[in-house]
Amino acid sequence: MRVTLAVSLVSHPREQHLSLKATSVLAIGAIGVVFGDIGTSPLYALKEAFIHLGTSGKNIDEELMRGILSIVFWLLLFVVNVKYIFTICRASNRGEGGIFALLSLIPRGLSAQARRGRFIMTMLAIAGAGLLFGDGIITPTMSVLSAVEGLIVFNTSLTPVVVPTVVVILIGIFYAQQFGTARIGALFGPVMVVWFIAIAALGIGGIMQFPSIMSSVNPMHAIRLIMHQPGETFMLLGAIVLVVTGAEALYADMGHFGIKPIRMGWYLLVAPALVLNYFGQGAAVLHSLEAGTLDPNKVATFNPFYALVPESLLIPAVILSTAATIIASQAMISGVFSMTRQAVRLNMLPRLEIVHTSGEHEGQIYIPYVNGLMLVGCLFTVLLFPTSTSLASAYGIAVTGLMAITTMLFAVVARGLWRWKKRWVMLLAGAFLLVDVGLFAANAPKVLTGGWFALAIAALGALVMTTWVQGTFFIGRKLAEENQSIHDFLAELWTDAIPRVPGSAVFLTTNYNTPLALKHFVEHAHVLHEQVVLMTIVSSNLPVVPVARQIRVEWLPDGVWKITALCGFMESPNIPRFLERARAHGFNFEPLHTTYFARRTAVIPTGKSKMANWRKRLYAALSRNSVDASRSFSLPHDRVVDFGAQVEL
């Protein structure tokens, strides 16, 4: 873990020697990508709180509103500022964030206790990844629904067209993924800048109607609400938590921009705009109640966000909010793609087809299979939960669960890697967990009304990943029984005087043993190429491995080379490129005279491994549908030979 310690504390490469202008440009980009989710929360967060009050028969008065807004303000300050920007974002792996980047920072020990702890942390990370998959399905649906529901404010007769409109927009969002975001991505930042300026202006307009609402920043309003109405406050937290949805994106997307541009965007624009808009919404409600234009018994049907919008600007506001939610959805979808690639590289998922949509940016990818699953999931979600209110129950539980898991993993990194004092780790992580678990508990009663959906998606994702990890372990152990050391194999070749033919043969292997594809080729062809390469791809705990440290070449007797390539979990392995770089180590690479040999393993789920039969069948199905080596490792299709092998699981 010496390498991990060295890299986890360095600043992001983008941040080194950045001018103010360059940081500002990156900040605009971060506003378009990182803050899309949290930036569209004003569309539904306070609305859900008012709906809860309406359905519970609780009338809103000035003191209650101040208490709610005070909780909103301090929750934003604590969760986003203190927890994520100031603390969690310190745990970067070469500038990269996210739950798997956090897992990769946890030291690996050799003792039984260390291995057991590592296993628990891995299971937590898998659970968090499952929750993020669920979030990736719920967020686009929730965001687009909330924006399009503005049509109802304009004209209630448009209610029947909301769901069809959302379906069309969602299909368009996922269809556009195959073309990449390189061209339209440049518009994300400016559009979101306009969005935040607009919601800030709307908030100021609302505050001017009831200026004293700004006193809600006083934490005593929140404390009084908690002390005098603890039960009501607890239930309200289930809705108020929606103001911090998207906070996890600050950490997950940190690698795209660096923490400094993210901080600049947050402090200079995003945070002020959000606070002004939330306070403006509260002021609009109180002003309407005071003026008698809002019936206290009908607060549950009141949309405080669109109440800030002048009637003449309703249609432009709906268009702008829809554009903002599309951008927020795009950021979440890209995040799921990125996390899926990390899971594949860490061998937690089968090989999937990963398409690079940009020749300049490694991180811009498209995963067709995941894209299709997310589209189906979103369409099913909007049909199951046709309003943002019905979907809000499913939304909060996924977000708060992921926040709690992130805190636990961070505590292990702080104690095990950085060697922070135990009392400080317990104090800090305890404070974070107190809030995380409190918010999760406030959402727990919603399990029966929608939260079950988020948990079901998370459980399904975790089930697939744990099955793949377990099955791969048993398959590896089974194949190890049939392994022969490469030195013994070469000795047999020397004894049998196998003829050599011109060209190079590349065989993929995971260790120093003889690849089964190599043994099968010699047994059937009775020849061997002049130059034989045993190619091993090793997943690094770094997001990107420097080129100078990427290749290790070892020469063995009889024209055999052992080449090991380190590949970061944010990179896609490209074997021809690795071989090209091996030239610097004395290896003679001729692409037109090189043939690649790969083994395609057919899993037979009838073996004696200690694995449930249904898991065996699931693993076999996942294995059958995994992408072949030529696509996974960027091999030229016309120079690949596949060898089939059957293995009982």
pLDDT for 488-503, tens place per residue? Answer: 887 877 767 788 899 9
Least confident span in 224-228, 467-471, 552-556, 607-611: 607-611
Task: Give residue 11's pLDDT.
Answer: 43
Q: What is the CA radius of gyration of the chain?
A: 27
Distance CA 432, CA 86 (A): 12
Reported as half-sphere exposure (CB side, CA atoms, 13 A), residue 231 has a value of: 2
Task: Give residue 460's pLDDT.
Answer: 95
pLDDT tens-digit profile of 514-562? 888 888 888 888 889 999 999 999 888 788 889 889 999 998 888 899 9
The pTM score is: 0.85
Hunting for tokens 């109640």 — which residue is that?
Answer: 289
CA-based nearest residue to 624, from 641, 639, 646: 646
CA-based nearest residue to 624, from 591, 600, 648, 590: 600
Reduced to 3 states (helix: H, G, I; strand: E, B; else coil), residue 565 is strand
Reduced to 3 states (helix: H, G, I; strand: E, B; else coil), residue 96 is strand
What structural domains does the chain harbor? 2-470 (1.20.1740.10), 485-648 (no CATH)
pLDDT tens-digit profile of 226-240? 999 998 899 899 999
pLDDT tens-digit profile of 71-101? 999 999 999 999 999 999 888 887 778 898 8
Widest CA span in the chain: 99
- Helical pair 219-228 and 62-76, crossing angle rounded to 10 deg: 110
Distance CA 190, CA 210 (A): 31
Distance CA 50, CA 59 (A): 9
368 near 340, Cβ under 8 Å?
no
The H-assigned helical ranges of 346-387 are 368-384
Q: Which residues pair with 596 in a beta bridge?
A: 506, 640
Q: Which residue has the higher pLDDT, 64 or 255?
A: 64
CA-based nearest residue to 300, from 120, 56, 525, 615: 56
List strands edge to edge, sheet with 640-648: 551-556, 560-567, 528-539, 500-508, 594-604, 640-648
Length in residues, the chain: 649
Tokens of 323: 């554009």
Mean pLDDT, to the nearest integer, of 288-303? 79
- Phi/psi for 21 (5° steps) reads -65, -45
Torsion sign (Cα): 544, 545, 546, 550: negative
The H-assigned helical ranges of 79-229 are 99-105, 112-148, 150-154, 162-175, 185-209, 219-228
Hunting for tokens 């013994």 — which residue is that?
Answer: 488
483 near 531, Cβ under 8 Å?
no
pLDDT-derived band at 424, boundaries 50, 70, 90: very high
Tokens of 105: 């920072």
| Close Cβ partners of 420 (under 8 Å, ≥ 6 residues apart) | 414
Distance CA 162, CA 505 (A): 59
Reported as half-sphere exposure (CB side, CA atoms, 13 A), residue 186 has a value of: 2
C-alpha pair distances (Å), 183 with each of 8, 117, 148, 178, 571: 32, 44, 25, 12, 22
Distance CA 233, CA 426 (A): 26
350 near 631, Cβ under 8 Å?
no
DSSP letter assigned to residue 628: P
- Helical pair 314-345 and 20-33, crossing angle rounded to 10 deg: 100
